[in-house]
Amino acid sequence: MQKQPTIRDVAQAAGVSVAVVSRVLNPGSGPVAEATRGRVNDVMKNLGYHPRTAARELKFGPPTTLGLLLADVSNPFFARLADRVVQEAHARGIQVLLMTTQEDDQLESERLATLIERRVSGIIATPTGNNLAIWKQLQDLGTDVVFVDRSIPSLPEVDVVSIDNFESARSATALLAAHGHRRIGIISGPAASSTGRDRIAGYRQALETAGLEQDELLIRHAAFRGSAGGDAASALLSIEEPPTALVVANTAQVTEVLRRLSHAGIDIPGTLSVIVFEDSPWTELMTPALTIVRQPIDLLARHSVQLALSNTQGKASGEPKIIRVAAELVERSSVARVHFTK
């Protein structure tokens, strides 16, 4: 285990001052003779010298790190978002510190404290909905905060990137209505989440347009974690006049819901037509292939990273940005015309 060489070691070995080495390290920061530059570079290579980021960051806040605070990376949606965010960031020479909250606001506040101490330049997050004071503090500190997929209404000054939840749920519901379904159920995120509320609103709008009766029994909120989705599905199926179609608008709970339907022996789409908010390759492999709402994760990632670095890159803006990208309804085989049993 070698001792790590410092800039002074390099300077001495190359017979120049540290200032010159620093200039070689940061081209454009000052003149260096070609010959000297070559010599210094050689020495650095020989010594295996690598400048320490920590030392560099001490002088200026680092526009070199970004915090990515997600609920749960084992959820494919977040996993793919993470993948794209990391790629986008790397393309800009930025590193990503990944943290997870497990939807726990206590954990969230701890993670945020760490991010503050690291003085990250930006944070991309799926907020739990609490810790309002900390989010505000972050912004006051000049950190670019971007909420992705969800928002917190009481923090209107934070940038938000998400799909158009209202329109996505509306069009999915409308498709079912167009297939003749009159009892359409929906399982969405917690009522406290912006995502959940917007999707329910879109759902209601579609019902209204189609002239269908709204039945609160058909609307279920399920927590993001645990088996809440499965329970919601069971509950929906056991009501007096069960739905003939179902929109699963809680991404995190899609597999839970499907598992429950499968165990209950429900025939899709014979007994129940289904549309899910989930765009993983396996949805196409199912029997039947699932009709899905596809979220353009690439766009979400690109916009998020851009916003999270916008202030840093001088493009400071007055107004908070709200970016809504359109989701795509992909029709496959899990939606059927309704059986007119009565």
Q: Contact residues for DNA (CB under 7 A)? A: 4, 6-8, 15-23, 25-26, 29-36, 49-52, 55-56, 58-60
CB of 143 to DNA, least distance (A): 15
CB of 110 to a second copy, least distance (A): 8
CB of 116 to DNA, least distance (A): 11
Residue 333 interacts with which of DNA, a second copy, none, CB < 5 to 8 Å by class = none
Q: Which is nearer to a second copy, 29 or 262 (CB)?
A: 262
In the numeric block, the tokens 């058909």 are attached to 218
Q: Which is nearer to a second copy, 77 or 166 (CB)?
A: 77
CB of 82 to a second copy, least distance (A): 5
CB of 138 to DNA, least distance (A): 16
Please name the amino acid found at residue 130: N
Residue 137 interacts with which of a second copy, DNA, none, CB < 5 to 8 Å by class = a second copy
Residue 258 interacts with which of DNA, a second copy, none, CB < 5 to 8 Å by class = a second copy
Q: Angle CA(92)–CA(303)–CA(164) in degrees, nearest 5?
A: 165
Q: Which is nearer to a second copy, 51 or 242 (CB)?
A: 51
Residue 19 interacts with which of a second copy, DNA, none, CB < 5 to 8 Å by class = DNA
Residue 210 interacts with which of a second copy, DNA, none, CB < 5 to 8 Å by class = none
In the numeric block, the tokens 């202030």 are attached to 311
Cα separation, 138 vs 155, whole angstroms: 12
| 307: nearest Cα among 164, 135, 122 | 122
Q: Which is nearer to a second copy, 50 or 342 (CB)?
A: 50
| 321: nearest Cα among 88, 159, 104 | 159
Residue 34 interacts with which of DNA, a second copy, none, CB < 5 to 8 Å by class = DNA
Cα separation, 247 vs 191, whole angstroms: 16
Q: Which is nearer to DNA, 24 or 335 (CB)?
A: 24
DSSP for 97-142 reads: EEEE-TT-HHHHHHHHHHHHHHT-SEEEE---S--HHHHHHHHHTT
Q: How distant, in Å, are the alpha carbons of 78, 103, 124, 133, 182 from that of 71? A: 8, 5, 11, 19, 35
Two structure tokens written together for 256? 């839970």
Residue 214 interacts with which of a second copy, DNA, none, CB < 5 to 8 Å by class = none
Applying CB under 8 A, the residues found at the interface with a second copy are: 1-2, 4, 48, 50-55, 57-58, 62, 68, 72-74, 76, 79-80, 82-84, 86-87, 90, 95-100, 102, 107, 111, 113-114, 116-119, 137, 140-142, 255, 258-259, 262, 280-282, 284-287
325, β-bridge pairs? 163
Cα separation, 162 vs 116, whole angstroms: 24
CB of 127 to a second copy, least distance (A): 18
Work out whether strand 328-330 and strand 291-294 pair parallel, antiparallel, or are unpaired: antiparallel
Determine the distance from the C-alpha atom of residue 321 to the mean position of all C-alpha atoms in its chain, rounded to a whole number. 16
CB of 51 to a second copy, least distance (A): 6
